Amino acid sequence: MDTVENLARKFRAAGLKVTPQRACILETLKDDTTHPHAEQIFRRVRGRFPTISFTTVYKTLQTLRDLGEIVEININPRRSHYDPATDGHHHAFCLNCRNLIDVDAASSIPYPFLPDPGIPGFEVREIQTHFIGVCSPCRSRQGGDR
């Protein structure tokens, strides 16, 4: 994710105002590696702006996604998560604790990567690979492999 100042410029260039609430959302997301969902971001921002609406948070997240500044991750069937790291890494989702874990794209080989989707005229803009399973701490609590 870009700096808050550069993001503010991008918002203005897109014809959007940079309100204190939007600036707080930007600052909240910057360098956040926890893959928060919209409700978590809303709660964090509401601490500073008690009257902010969930709609403002959600629309700001969608704008950041559309600008390519965050990645919307749809691995959790209950809700989308947001990641300010747009470097093309993958994610692992734990079925027990529901945490998302970053996975370096290079370390996930030999898992398949499809550079040519075989669809005439189709241009790949983004690839998201998701690994679904049980993380090591949850496996340990369960007593090992199952």
52-86 confidence digits (pLDDT tens): 999 999 999 999 898 888 999 988 778 899 998 88
Predicted TM-score (pTM) of this structure: 0.77
Nearest to 76 by CA among 136, 132, 135, 142: 132
Q: Which domain holds residue 125?
A: 87-142
Q: How many domains does one find in the chain?
A: 2
CA distance 6 to 128: 26
- Please check whether residues 45 and 21 belong to one and the same domain: yes
Residues in the chain with pLDDT values less than 50: 111, 146
- Please check whether residues 14 and 69 belong to one and the same domain: yes
Cis peptide before 110 (omega within 30 of 0): yes
- Please check whether residues 94 and 129 belong to one and the same domain: yes
pLDDT of residue 116: 58
pLDDT of residue 39: 95
**Residues present in the chain in total:** 146
